[in-house]
Amino acid sequence: MQSYDIKQERRNDGATSSTRQRERRLTYPHVIEDVVVGLGDDVEMLATHLVEDKGPRVVYIWGMGGSGKTTLAKQIFNYKKVKCYFDCFAWVCISQQCDDTTVMKEIFMKLCSMSDEQRQGIANLSNEEIAERLCNFQRDRKCLVVLDDIWALDAWNSFKGGISMNEETESRILLTTRNREVASLARGNNFLYESRALSADEGWNLFRKIAISEVNDPNSQIYSKKEELGKSMLQHCVGLPLAIIVLAGLLARKDTIDEWKTVHKNVDVYIRRGTDLEQEYKGQNMKVLHGSWHLVMTTYHIA
């Protein structure tokens, strides 16, 4: 918003555009992606860390936006080994301008089965009161708390008082972040996982499942040409899952080879745009992410 001099608008009820932005970013652990590629071994490894008796208290999943952090967290959250081990579960999305007291109350209410009256009582607690109750509850039970998309170090520090870090606790925290500072805290009895780019084969497998209809005969000339064009375009996605999904979703609506050729002809121009956002990650991947969305918006004439 600062880069493009965008002002924060307020609705009639006083809510800011950031509130609406957080509502659009909400993720739900029960909404599982139809196509998931290349995560099986990682899910097993991280799930094992979470259920170990002397395992890490906090597991950090770090990577740039669109690298599949939330998808991986969902797979772990719903993994049978994890579901059988923990007693209580909470999945909370963190906004860019999060309120620590609100976050802790949300975690506590999701971990506990409460009546409406009890929920009202929690809503009236102060920051110190909810932090103490939440911390004690995690010490007494085996809880898994997922904090999805922590943007800033200050946000994480603000509600750590409600997170049980006691050596004897069997509760665990799984968090996702795109922030290097937050990820740098993963030391001692914590574990850091860095999301990785998909290999060429994994990227093609993901792309193919979305972009090419199952009715296409793999031995046909149409399939062969789409494979040739698709693999060429995938080079611009540098293994970034979101970029692959966006590109594949666009091409899934295009049946003819001529339509695919049109996208192929312009994909490099669109993907190489978005240099204003490059500084955050100091790399090519942010260009890919921004460029992929630009490709979709331009093709469909979305304002």
- Could you give the domains of the chain? 17-194 (3.40.50.300), 200-299 (no CATH)
pLDDT digits (tens, 9 = 90+) for 85-120: 999 999 998 867 678 888 898 899 899 877 777 888
More confident residue, 88 or 8: 88
Q: What is the DSSP string of 186-235?
A: --SSEEEEE--PPPHHHHHHHHHHHHS-TTS-TTSHHHHHHHHHHHHHHG
Residue 14 pLDDT greater than 60, yes or no: no
CA 209 to chain centre: 21
pLDDT at 36: 65
Q: What is the pLDDT of residue 47?
A: 92
- Tell me: pLDDT of 256 over 80: yes
Produce one character per residue of 58-79: b if its CB has 16 or more CB atoms within 10 Å, e if not.
bbbbbbbbbbbbbbbbbbbbeb
pLDDT for residue 159 is more than 50: yes
- pLDDT exceeds cutoff 70 at 201: yes
Among 176-180, 251-255, 275-279, name the one with the lowest average pLDDT.
275-279
Reported as type and span, the H/E element at residue 154 is: helix 153-158
Give 46-63 pLDDT, tens digit per residue: 999 999 877 788 999 998
Phi, psi of 121 (to 5 degrees): -65, -40
Percent of the chain with pLDDT over 70: 72
The pLDDT of residue 252 is above 50: yes
Tens digit of each residue's pLDDT (9 = 90 or more) over 15-42: 444 444 444 367 766 656 666 666 778 8
Which residues have a Cβ under 8 Å from the Cβ of 108 and sit 6 or more positions away?
90, 122, 130, 133, 134, 137, 162
**Cα→Cα distances 282→10, 36, 126, 180, 295, Å:** 33, 27, 41, 12, 21
Which residue has better confidence, 218 or 23? 218
CA distance 246 to 291: 10
Please determine, for residue 192, whether its predicted confidence score (pLDDT) is greater than 90.
Answer: yes
What percent of the chain is predicted at pLDDT more than 90? 25
- Mean predicted lDDT score pLDDT of the chain: 78
Closest CA to 39 of 80, 65, 72: 72
Distance between start and end Cα atoms, the chain = 17
Closest CA to 16 of 34, 28, 1, 31: 1
**Mean pLDDT within 225-252:** 89
